[in-house]
Amino acid sequence: MFDSDKIFPPNPEFAKNARIKSMDEYYALMDEAKNDYEGFWKKYADEKIEWIEPYEKVLDETNAPFYKWFTNGKLNVTIQCIDRHLKDKADKTAIIFEGDRGDVQKITYETLAKEVNRFANLLKNRFDIKKGDRVVLYMPMIPQAVYAMLACARIGAIHSIVFGGFSAEALRDRIKDAKAKLVITADGAYRKSKPYLLKPVVDDALKDGIQSVEAVLVVKRNNEKIDWIEGRDHDYDELIKESSSECEPEIMDSEDPLFLLYTSGSTGKPKGVQHSQAGYILWAQMTMEWVFDIKEGDVYWCTADIGWITGHTYIVYGPLAAGTTTVLFEGVPTYPDAGRAWKMVQEHKITQFYTAPTAIRVLHKMGEDEPKKYDLSSLKVLGTVGEPIDPPAWMWYHEEVGGGRCAVVDTWWQTETGGHMISPLPGATPIKPSCATFALPGIMAEVIDKDGNPKEIGETGLLCITKPWPSMIRTIWGDHERFKKAYFSDAVKDGKAVYFSGDGAMVDKDGYITITGRVDDVINVSGHRLGTAEIEAAVAEDDKVAEVAVVGRPHPIKGESIFVFLVLKEGAVTEDIKSHINSLLSKEIGNIAKADDIVAVPGLPKTRSGKIMRRILRSIAKGEEIKQDISTLEDPSIVANIQEAVKQAV
């Protein structure tokens, strides 16, 4: 059993040269921010940003919650990410691209500049894309996807990336809401060495016509046969040959939109989260430097997809603004075997590795001893993102992947926050496994009730950010009222609406913050509200369990009962598993947490980015017909297999 009270201090050798070397330095920075909030942000904006014209005011709160940062400042984020590095880093590798089949391409900052400029000129000259126009990207993880993002930023167009696993209907909704003028896609890409197609999904999304869309630009990746609509579809590989590699950056205002990124909404209609220029790029760079302790010579790998905010901030904008080398990976870390990720760490000498707890658990399940086969000595910092990480996965990650010497930075943040909010600092923070630890310097994160009163130690409350911060969401595209209602209507502090994350959290006696999960991810058992994350963490501690997902099921007496879906490790026996798990739950949480249903299933329904689709599991637990779109799942057939397992067990 895992010792939950154990604290892991920073590696003293690492701490000596870290950007933030101790908790004393951390507290000094927090005090600086509390004593002079605007002065704190001014210092970093002046130091980090390559301004074309200086800003006039650090923070404008006159129209809260529509905050404005660095008002009337002028910049272009591609100068921050590319141009300023050309003076002394032109030959440095900006991007290491590794394809699914093992093909590797190293792209220098000089080459990146030329490719982005060519793409920007193509958008301007061929498609008449201008400042403020929306461009939707439906792309695989290939260099042209990064070029397209940065090309939009170069000329002031607003990019909106739709994850390449989304269905035609989901793509259509996002194109229509953004009123996109151009869609950029690829014929397809490779996955597990087999070609798959993207262009047909775009064709399906546009089959009835969308008035705003004037053209589709297609990059050739796998050269599979695709339909071609004359007059609408254009060949990137042909057109780019004619494009100049010189393109002056558009002068952008600090508050001009940089991109839209759609996230699921409780009403079913996706929310177009709108991020600005200066505040976003500043925090992307600062968190790369603080949380990952990026230094000259580092090679950094985030395994996310650029279709999510993690890919925006921590594959493209943050690493490039920090002037580091970022790894772009087309494949999956478990193909052709569970050693793929560790082989890449060894070959590319990766220093920071950032992935999701789901991926860690899968890598652990599929290849517990695989890390021992590779030289992982280059690693300095390990990161997790997307959900709380359970203690057994944390320990394996720390001990087997990091060799017990690497800090594990368990980062909490959201699409709406733009960058990390709560995270350990690798050279300073004593780490408690499965705990996000402390708010980063300058971020005022508090666990409060709806009236702004701090919750008692160990008591779950609302996780709120009580002061605006530079990289925060500016609005929901085309729906300001929904923005206010979604984020600034649940909690008030000192008479002022504050940002509520939608997550619950608790603070322990040492001031550490632990995320308990979405406040709507609770099960009300006989009047007792139990967080699914807490139950999952308890079950995951068992050494027979590879993965777990918990949902609520209607119960005629209790109101709701607990339904546990288990994926067991190979060789684990299922005999008497229900009493075994319930005994564990009773011990870890209490008798009220005992589950009525515990079913061993062959797998969990996950998107290609590794997110577990709990809505599907809720429907299965209730015996409902599956109405959700399962085409975005890594393996759509798993749904029927889970249904069959439940039918046999319940």
Query: What is the per-residue pLDDT across 422-454, written as a single tens digit (0 to 9) for each?
Result: 999 999 999 998 899 999 999 999 999 999 999
Q: How confident is the model at residue 1 (pLDDT cuts 50, 70, 90)?
A: very low
Q: Distance between CA atoms of 16 and 438, rounded to whole angstroms?
A: 21
* Per-residue confidence (pLDDT) for residue 266, from 0 to 100: 43
Predicted local confidence at residue 170, as pLDDT: 83
Query: Predicted confidence band at 4 (pLDDT cuts at 50, 70, 90)?
Result: low
Q: Is the pLDDT of residue 267 over 50?
A: no
Q: What is the pLDDT of residue 609?
A: 64
Structural domains of the chain ordered from first start: 521-649 (3.30.300.30)
Q: Is the pLDDT of residue 471 over 90?
A: yes
> Which one is predicted more confidently, 559 or 361?
361
Residue 588: the pLDDT is 75
Q: Which residue has the tokens 């839209």?
A: 260
Distance CA(427)–CA(21), nearest Å, equals 5
pLDDT at res. 125:
97
Report pLDDT digits (tens) over 589-636.
777 889 999 999 999 998 766 778 888 999 999 999 887 778 778 888
Exposure letters 369-403 (e unless 16+ CB within 10 A, then b): ebbeebebeebbbbbbbbbbbbbbbbbbbbebbbe
Positive/negative CA dihedral, 224, 230, 233, 238: positive
pLDDT confidence tier of residue 264, bands split at 50, 70 and 90: low
Q: Kindly tell me if the per-residue pLDDT of 6 is higher than 60.
A: yes
Question: Following DSSP, what letter does each residue of 54-92 receive, concatenated?
Answer: --SEEEE-TTTTS-EEEET-EE-HHHHHTGGGHHHHTTS
- Mean pLDDT over residues 552-581, rounded? 85
- The pLDDT-based confidence of 455 (bands split at 50, 70, 90) is very high
Residues 6+ apart with CB under 8 A from 490: 450, 462, 500
Across residues 554-579, what is the average pLDDT?
84
User: Is residue 574 over pLDDT 80?
Assistant: no
Query: Which two tokens mark 524?
Result: 């009300």
pLDDT classification of 289: cutoffs 50, 70, 90: very high
- Strand, helix or coil for residue 267: coil
**pTM value surpassing 0.95:** no
Q: What is the pLDDT of residue 529?
A: 62
Query: Residue 527 — pLDDT band, cuts 50, 70, 90?
Result: low
Which residue carries 């999956």 as its tokens? 332
Q: How far is CA 603 from CA 547, 606, 629, in A?
A: 8, 9, 18
Give Cα 647 distance to the centre of its chain: 35
Per-residue confidence band for 270, with pLDDT thresholds at 50, 70 and 90: confident
| Percentage of the chain modeled with pLDDT above 90 | 77
Statement: residue 143 has pLDDT above 80: yes
Q: Across the chain, what does the average pLDDT equal?
A: 92
Residues 65-92 pLDDT 10s: 999 999 999 999 999 999 999 999 999 9
pLDDT band at 38 (very low <50, low <70, confident <90, very high): very high
Q: What Å distances lie between residue 494 and 168, 171, 436, 451, 457, CA to CA?
A: 46, 42, 26, 8, 21
Q: Which of 176, 166, 228 is nearest to 198 (CA)?
A: 166
99-108, 162-171, 255-264, 369-378 — which is least confidently predicted? 162-171
Distances (CA, A) of 337 to 103, 112, 192, 394, 594: 16, 31, 10, 21, 37
